[in-house]
Amino acid sequence: MGAQVILPLIKYLGVLALGVVIFMILWLIVVTVKTRLNMFQLIKKLTPVSILAIVTTSSAVCLPVAMKDTREKVGVSDYVTNLVLPMGMPLNSNGAAMHMALTVITISQIYGVSYGVGHYFYIALMATLLSLANAVAPGADLVSLAIIVPQLGLPIESIAIFAGVGWFVGALRTILNVDSDIFSAILVADSENEIDRELFKLTAENPDYVRPEAAE
């Protein structure tokens, strides 16, 4: 179908990437203002797990590394890390919710279907609820789309159009999901005074520093 499909897909990826960037910036502002942690140091500490998220497109694969870096680089206590990150992996899927909402809107535009304000609220609600049950494996988003797309009167076969850009979508979705879990853990830890700020500073000055108990 040529440019009729390719151009909307390029725009779709661009909008999704822009949405992820905006969401990440807002996350960083909220977390660093609330916790008084250095934003640039935090970004540097989360870079390895963010790259892993892009490459693997799986929150489950990233979980061990995310937990390790959250404890040993950011300084969040074991208590908070072991509770929030495993729970957040399936339940805190900001990237999945954003992806499903934007995909439905893109499909509607491709097929010339118009929605009102009420429909957009419905899309947001459905995408949020489906993100709670979304599998954390590559390609699982197509199954979730098969639930929401027919609910809005769109042809289910339209989902196949997006299979070709599945890896790019998965990379964008996963990096937001994984980093959001870590940001949530930092906020919880800050509220409970469970952040080792001295460790945060030490690992910023010496990236190879390892806590004595972690080395054991």
Q: What type of residue is 55? A: V
pLDDT band for 131, please (50, 70, 90 cuts): confident
Residue spans per domain, the chain? 3-215
Residue % of the chain over a pLDDT of 70: 89
Mean pLDDT, all residues of the chain: 86
**pLDDT tens digits for range 40-71:** 999 999 999 999 999 988 888 899 999 999 99
- The secondary structure of residue 72, as a DSSP letter, is I
- The secondary structure of residue 112, as a DSSP letter, is T
Higher pLDDT: 138 or 200? It is 200
Query: Do 58 and 137 contact (CB within 8 A), yes or no?
Result: yes
**pLDDT tens digits for range 145-190:** 888 888 888 888 888 888 888 888 888 988 999 999 999 999 999 9
- At residue 36, the pLDDT reads 92
Is the pLDDT assigned to residue 130 strictly greater than 90?
Answer: no
pLDDT band for 2, please (50, 70, 90 cuts): low
The CATH number that domain 3-215 falls under is 1.10.3860.10
- At residue 29, the pLDDT reads 95
- At residue 132, the pLDDT reads 81
Residue % of the chain over a pLDDT of 90: 44
- At residue 82, the pLDDT reads 94
If we measure between CA atoms, which residue out of 182, 199, 174, 187 comes closest to residue 53?
174
Q: What SS3 class is residue 91?
A: helix
Higher pLDDT: 144 or 102? It is 102
pLDDT band for 206, please (50, 70, 90 cuts): low
